[in-house]
Chains A and B, each alone.
Chain A
């Protein structure tokens, strides 16, 4: 059947009408091969215009349409829909921009007309070669995997868990709640952190649609948005989560005592332990590295003391496989180790501690039950806070250290009103609406702020610690260091498992800093909270919720997922298997079919940039809707 192309030139009222001789164009293109109709219209995007267009497509039995009007950025979608409604595949329509890129920039009417005409001819040339593209939809798995049980992950879990959707929460440590669960009070509300998150923790653990795997890690991820398969390694806990009632009777008798990492080394724990009092789930874990039994010694004291037969020395690591449609990484961050900078005396002097150690000293669930004390058990009479530890080395401001230090200063002042406090800072970062107030209040309480820059040294003099800066020396009982926030050690491994990029600082890289701050280069994988960059609690929660929202709007139970239509394809017969496209594809959308020794495009991952097409040496790669032939045809038109 012969093609019937309809050409519609919009006057856009006077916008195009006054600047371009629309009539001339219509007359000129009428004679072109396959052009069945060429007409002008005063305002095609109006209700009347769209109705007119749809009737034209039907009445004139058009097989292709050219619309010369404003920028496609404005109404291309609208016109595509009109075509679809009139029964024409929307990819058989081509828009050309004779307003922004012609009428509005060319004062000379005959030159503008000439240019517009070339655009219209180019569009006719191009549309003749365009192909219908059918909407691609795939079945999806609405369930979601959340990795990391800190505040960002918790928020994501609770937002996502609903009817017909399961959420799997995978947490590396034996308990959920992240760092927040180990803080006493948090800024700017100065409220009790464990109380603040307790309801969320309980809800996550009890909600029917959330399955929590603590002491677990992700091992392998395959698939793409809508259909990932994840392997989770659930490490042997040696304590049955079903049988254990959390009575703690097993800790006491355990003969092993090691430093407790959850108290930042300020206390000891047993080989069978709970990270800290009240940590959830309330089920202990046996630490294989330190338990006598795993070192070949005879010991089963914990088992003997368990009245519920919850201890199982034969427990094994288990691999659990889950199908999910999307993945949220909320794996958090850690603090820079000040031992790397000897000038701060950390590790050398007993009473030089990190902010996190002071957090634990101040915490009622911490090693001293909340008593702030020196190594010798005495209360400090004077303290120095040193900010920006590691900022220069890391090369970025973590943005939260000023505030967590200020918070600690306030909390200490509350408990020990007589304590003298000196804060050594470089720049104060107090960005949010409540922060300045907290600083002002600190000053009012008599806390001293000294702008030291990074030039701070910590030495000792007898019992005292001397903080020196720019010729000034202050003698204190205790020094608190505020280290920079850095990526968790496992960030690299997880990035590898998922094949997603990290940024220059080692955090997971977001897709776009401003517009897609929680998406990644891999569609369907999101990064929220401080694993994407230093963040306070509120921002982490906001990101967790935002990513969940994105998923909720895309992965709807029972509905299909629509894929990008303008993707690349590879012609099997032409592909030489050189792999160039595989290396270049920014989305890892191309892989090698090892049997056929050629490249294949995964349409669920391809976003249609065409990079593979321009790199393909044999012409096997082809970008749908932007093929070489289509662009050539357009070029021919525009050069006249």
Chain B
């Protein structure tokens, strides 16, 4: 039961609404998915991700609007570039890159949100908790 958590940064406009839709449809996903609202996926800098891992999260999910749909035009593209670099860095630190996942969820995509949440939880279960030395 006390599985390590997955901190999920959701952009306010699409992904947060997507997660709400999953709730509205009473779709289930593991309780260790813990949501933190940000205005845009472009606001999620590596510092936030690393902090989540430092605090004990086993993984971090960053969800934004689909490419082209960002409420602030291109924040999600910036998130994409950043995630790429971040994953590389994590790898060099010996942290599996699967621990950070960036994806897109539209406001209507409740099912997609639940699916991604379930997949992420499954991946983290397989990887086990993150041991930071």
Contacts and interface: CB of A to CB of B under 8 A. Distances in A.
Q: Do chains A and B stick together as partners?
A: yes
Interface of A: 71-73, 97, 99-108, 110-112, 114-115, 118-119, 122, 521, 566, 584, 586-587, 607-611, 613-615, 623, 626, 628, 631-632, 634-636, 638-640
Nearest to B5: A639
B73 A586 contact: yes
A102 B24 CA distance: 11
B27 A105 contact: yes
B40 A610 contact: yes
B43 A611 contact: yes
Nearest to A640: B5
B82 interface: yes
A615 B40 CA distance: 13
- Interface centre among A110, A115, A122, A628, by most chain B C-beta atoms within 10 angstroms, is A115
Nearest to A585: B72
21 contacts: A100-B20, A105-B27, A105-B29, A110-B1, A114-B31, A609-B40, A609-B43, A610-B40, A614-B43, A615-B78, A623-B43, A626-B38, A628-B47, A632-B48, A634-B36, A636-B55, A638-B35, A638-B36, A639-B52, A639-B56, A640-B56
Interface of B is mostly: mixed
Given A101-B23, A614-B82, A628-B47, 18 more contacts: A71-B16, A97-B20, A100-B24, A102-B23, A105-B29, A106-B28, A122-B34, A584-B78, A609-B39, A611-B40, A614-B78, A615-B78, A626-B39, A632-B51, A634-B36, A635-B55, A638-B35, A638-B36
A517 to B, nearest CB: 15
A118 B52 CA distance: 14
Interface string B14-35: 0011011011101111011011
A623 B43 CA distance: 9
A521 B44 CA distance: 22
B38 A610 contact: yes
Give 4 closest A-B pairs by Cβ, nearest first.
A100-B23, A610-B43, A614-B45, A609-B72
A177 B128 CA distance: 70
Given A100-B23, A104-B23, A104-B26, A638 B82 contact: no
Contacts of B4: 639
A616 B61 CA distance: 22
Given A106-B31, A108-B31, A521-B73, A623 B39 contact: yes
A610 B114 CA distance: 26
Contacts of B38: 610, 626, 631
- Interface centre among B38, B39, B74, by most chain A C-beta atoms within 10 angstroms, is B39
Contacts of A112: 31
B43 A73 contact: no
Contact of B55 (A521, A610, A639): A639
B94 to A, nearest CB: 21
Contacts of A105: 22-23, 26-29, 114
B101 interface: no
Contacts of B36: 122, 631, 634-635, 638
Contact of A609 (B23, B71, B82, B114): B71
A586 B75 contact: yes
Contacts of B45: 613-615
A640 B4 CA distance: 9
A586 B72 contact: yes
Contacts of A607: 72
B31 A631 contact: no
A589 to B, nearest CB: 11
B7 interface: yes
A611 B82 CA distance: 11
A32 to B, nearest CB: 17
Given A104-B24, A614-B82, A635 B52 contact: yes
A118 B78 CA distance: 30
Nearest to A637: B34
Contacts of A111: 1, 31
A638 B8 CA distance: 10
A199 B47 CA distance: 62
A73 B16 contact: yes
B20 A73 contact: yes
Given A584-B78, A609-B71, A115 B31 contact: yes
Contacts of A101: 19-20, 23, 35
A466 to B, nearest CB: 46
B48 A631 contact: yes
A118 B31 CA distance: 11
A610 B56 contact: no
B82 to A, nearest CB: 7
Contacts of B48: 614, 628, 631-632, 635
Contacts of B24: 100, 104
A566 B38 CA distance: 12
B34 A119 contact: yes
A639 B39 contact: no
B57 interface: yes
Nearest to A619: B47
A110 B48 CA distance: 29
A100 B19 contact: yes
B36 to A, nearest CB: 5
Contacts of B52: 635, 639
Contacts of B43: 609-611, 613-614, 623, 626
A107 B20 contact: no
Nearest to B82: A614
Nearest to A610: B43
A640 B75 CA distance: 29
A624 to B, nearest CB: 11
- Interface centre among A108, A114, A610, A615, by most chain B C-beta atoms within 10 angstroms, is A610
B76 to A, nearest CB: 10
B39 A118 contact: no
- Interface centre among A100, A114, A118, by most chain B C-beta atoms within 10 angstroms, is A100
- Interface centre among A584, A609, A636, by most chain B C-beta atoms within 10 angstroms, is A609
A122 B74 CA distance: 29
- Interface centre among A586, A587, A614, by most chain B C-beta atoms within 10 angstroms, is A614
Contacts of B72: 586-587, 607, 609, 611
